[in-house]
Every structure is written in structure tokens, then in C-alpha cells.
């Protein structure tokens, strides 16, 4: 049976660095609190004139160059984002136009928050396997700074802006590339992490702006507990489905939300931290961009070699979650 492989990876993070020290001048917080509670030291913030699609395009150009594939050859383009350029149309359409992806390509966004990249990857994988499409561009891109409440110290210290992208192609060899994925969601926990206003439930109004309803609201403790539980379960299930034990996984790339969540996941799975990729100290939580950004860094740092088994694990608002197993 043929396989779907990641033929190229790319990422982009905006130039502007916002440190914990900078934040301590904006809200009542400290570098010590942020670092010990989250593991974050600094994050990147997009320029005012940089939209989500601009970050996505830069990551995509890097992934296309890595794959040695031209934008004109892409026939499926999916952008996972929780901070689209506009509510309508999809950010994927802006990206298509800026990149020069042809008009016959299928282009759309996925809304699955921090699990969005793994959701989009699963769709791309399935569509390529059916032979309906030949080359897919899968992007996770976020300008979370545009939906962050910079007066709320419980959330504004966590998030950052970035984008990551992969190019998927099909190859005749079996048992390489994406080996499988397991995705899920539990809407019971939807209110633990959400943006209250700006949708059909609470359209934009003067009151919604005064109430700061267009920014992320989060019950951090509840999200923390759910994250540790669902990430461990879905990662374990993925390994069991493929008859794998944790020592066979060369690298775990978890969603980069909080070092304590990542360490709890590693301890519960019995995977040593030197086989878990962490870069949230430099980028914070970049939602759907976090896994492809980490994957790109890990590969360029020589942490991913041909034949390696990698487990990507995510959770996010929804509560969505997922794990994807890849043989490089």
C-alpha cells in the first residue's frame, strides 16, 4: 500500500520578541511566576500590518522550498487557525492568492484550536490516500496577539504568534510517512477556553467590546487537568494501535502550551524528556502553529532522522485533542 509522506517542512516566527520582563511592565506579573508556572521566557508578536495569512505564507514558502515543489503544483490547501484574517472568507483563500496556488485547488480553514494542525494533517492524509488530490499544503498559523486580552495576566503571558507548514505527497512505498492518527473532541469542556463574542451567539456590539468579549477567556486549571488526561490517553491509544512501546518512539512533539503539562505527559508515558521536543520557552503557546513550528526546528536541528518514529500530540479549545504517528 502507498504512503503519504511529509515532503517538506517550514515555519516562520515574527521578528518582535516580547519577554516576560516586558510583560511585567504591562500587567501585575513577573518573569519568575511565568517561567515557573509555564516554562515560557519570551514569545514573538506579529507587526500591526502582519495578518495570520502573512505568517502562513512565509511558513508555506519555506515548506515548499524544502519539498522542492512549486505553489502551482498544490491542489489542496488547508489552514488551521483560531485567529483568521477575517471571519469571512477563509484565511486559506488569502494564502492561496498570495502564494499563487492555482484556482482549481481546494482551499479551506479548519477550526480545531491548538489541535487544528493535527486535524488538518489527518484530512490531507486521507484525501491524498484516496487519490483525489496529489499535493497538499497543510498550515498551522496564528496571530494570537490579536485575540489576547493584554489586560488579563492569567492569559496574556501564555500566547504568541507564529506559523508552521508541511507539504504532503504520496509515495509508492508502504509503512512510511503518516502511519495513522487518532483525533477526538469533548464539547462538554467548550466553555473552559473560548472567545465569547464575535460569532452568531454574541455578535460584535459596543457592549461586546466594552466587556472585552473578543478576547480569549480561559479556566487555566481545568484546561491543565484535561490536557494531561487527554494527551496521555490519545498518545497511549496511538501506540497500542500500532503495537509500539514508548521506547520505540524517537521523538515526541507535544503541543507547546505549558512545560508542566509536557513533563506530566512524558512522565505518565515513561518517555524521558530528552526524547520530547520543547521550544515553548522561546515562543509560548502558538496554538495550531506550535507542532509544525517545533517539527521544523527539530528537523533542522538534526533531531529527526530517516526511519525515526515520531509521535505528535495535541490538545486545545473544544476540548479537541489528537495524536499522529509518523515514520520519517
Among residues 79, 137, 223, 266, which is the contact residue for ligand UT7, using CB under 6 A?
223
Contact call for residues 9 and 164 (beta carbons, < 8 A):
yes
Helix, strand, coil proportions of the chain in percent (round to 5)?
A: 40, 25, 35
Among residues 184, 198, 220, 246, which is the contact residue for ligand UT7, using CB under 6 A?
220
CA 179, CA 176: separation in Å to the nearest integer? 7
Report CA dihedral (252, 258, 260, 265) to the nearest 10 degrees.
Answer: -30
Asked if 114 touches ligand UT7 (CB under 6 A), the answer is yes
Asked if 19 touches ligand UT7 (CB under 6 A), the answer is no
Q: Taking the complex as a whole, how short is the minimal distance between the CB of residue 271 and ligand UT7, in angstroms?
A: 19
Residue nearest to ligand UT7 (CB): 220
Asked if 225 touches ligand UT7 (CB under 6 A), the answer is no
Among residues 81, 258, 279, 288, which is the contact residue for ligand UT7, using CB under 6 A?
258
Q: Taking the complex as a whole, how short is the minimal distance between the CB of residue 17 and ligand UT7, in angstroms?
A: 18
**Residues noted as catalytic:** 114, 255, 285
Asked if 144 touches ligand UT7 (CB under 6 A), the answer is no
C-alpha cell at 213: 468579549
Burial classification of residue 84, based on how many CB atoms lie within 10 Å of its CB (0-12 exposed, 13-18 middle, 19 or more buried): buried
C-alpha cell at 71: 505553489
Asked if 316 touches ligand UT7 (CB under 6 A), the answer is yes
CA 20, CA 35: separation in Å to the nearest integer? 8
Asked if 328 touches ligand UT7 (CB under 6 A), the answer is no
Segment interacting with ligand UT7, rule: CB under 6 A, options 164-172, 176-184, 218-226, 240-248: 218-226
Asked if 33 touches ligand UT7 (CB under 6 A), the answer is yes
Segment interacting with ligand UT7, rule: CB under 6 A, options 2-10, 134-142, 170-178, 221-229: 221-229
Task: Give the 3-state secondary structure of residue 281.
Answer: helix
Cβ-based neighbours of 266, under 8 Å, separated by 6 or more = 252, 272, 273, 276
Asked if 153 touches ligand UT7 (CB under 6 A), the answer is yes
CA 144, CA 161: separation in Å to the nearest integer? 6
Among residues 25, 68, 104, 221, which is the contact residue for ligand UT7, using CB under 6 A?
221
Contact call for residues 282 and 261 (beta carbons, < 8 A):
no
C-alpha cell at 102: 492555482
Among residues 3, 285, 288, 320, which is the contact residue for ligand UT7, using CB under 6 A?
285
C-alpha cell at 151: 489586560
Among residues 257, 262, 291, 310, which is the contact residue for ligand UT7, using CB under 6 A?
257
Choose between 101 and 311: whose C-beta lies nearer to ligand UT7.
Answer: 311
C-alpha cell at 97: 492568492
CA 260, CA 241: separation in Å to the nearest integer? 27
Segment interacting with ligand UT7, rule: CB under 6 A, options 30-38, 122-130, 169-177, 320-328: 30-38
Asked if 227 touches ligand UT7 (CB under 6 A), the answer is yes
What is the contact surface with ligand UT7 in residues (CB under 6 A)?
29, 33-34, 37-38, 114, 153-154, 157, 193, 218, 220-221, 223-224, 227, 257-258, 285, 316
Amino acid at each position: 500500500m502507498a504512503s503519504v509522506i511529509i515532503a517538506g517542512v517550514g515555519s516562520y516566527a515574527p521578528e518582535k520578541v516580547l519577554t516576560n520582563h516586558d510583560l511585567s511592565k504591562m500587567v501585575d506579573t513577573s518573569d519568575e511566576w511565568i517561567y515557573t508556572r509555564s516554562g515560557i521566557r519570551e514569545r514573538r508578536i506579529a507587526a500591526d500590518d502582519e495578518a495570520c495569512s502573512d505568517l502562513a505564507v512565509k511558513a508555506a514558502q519555506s515548506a515548499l522550498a524544502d519539498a522542492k515543489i512549486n505553489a502551482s503544483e498544490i491542489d489542496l490547501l488547508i489552514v488551521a487557525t483560531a485567529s483568521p484574517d477575517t471571519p469571512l472568507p477563509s484565511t486559506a483563500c488569502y494564502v492561496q492568492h498570495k502564494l499563487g496556488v492555482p484556482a482549481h485547488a481546494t482551499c479551506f480553514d479548519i477550526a480545531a484550536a491548538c489541535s487544528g494542525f493535527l486535524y488538518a494533517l489527518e484530512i490531507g492524509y486521507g484525501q491524498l490516500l484516496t487519490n483525489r488530490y496529489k499535493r497538499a499544503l497543510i498550515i498551522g498559523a496564528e496571530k494570537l496577539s490579536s485575540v489576547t486580552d493584554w489586560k488579563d495576566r492569567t492569559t496574556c503571558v501564555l500566547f504568541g504568534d507564529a506559523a508552521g507548514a508541511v507539504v504532503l505527497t504520496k509515495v509508492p512505498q508502504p509503512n512510511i510517512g503518516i502511519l495513522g492518527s487518532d483525533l477526538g473532541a469533548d464539547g462538554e469542556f467548550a466553555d473552559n477556553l473560548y472567545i465569547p463574542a464575535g460569532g452568531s451567539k454574541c455578535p460584535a456590539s459596543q457592549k461586546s467590546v466594552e466587556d472585552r468579549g473578543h478576547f480569549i477567556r480561559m479556566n487555566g486549571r481545568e484546561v491543565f487537568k484535561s490536557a494531561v488526561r487527554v494527551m496521555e490517553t490519545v498518545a497511549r491509544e496511538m501506540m497500542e494501535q500500532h503495537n509500539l512501546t514508548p521506547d520505540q518512539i524517537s521523538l515526541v512533539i507535544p503541543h507547546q502550551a505549558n512545560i508542566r503539562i509536557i513533563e506530566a505527559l512524558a512522565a505518565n508515558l515513561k518517555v524521558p524528556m530528552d526524547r520530547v521536543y520543547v521550544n515553548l520557552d522561546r515562543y509560548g503557546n502558538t496554538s495550531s502553529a506550535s507542532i509544525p513550528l517545533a517539527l521544523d526546528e527539530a528537523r533542522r536541528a538534526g533531531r529527526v532522522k530517516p526511519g525515526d518514529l515520531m509521535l505528535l500530540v495535541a490538545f486545545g479549545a473544544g476540548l479537541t485533542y489528537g495524536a499522529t504517528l509518523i515514520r520519517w
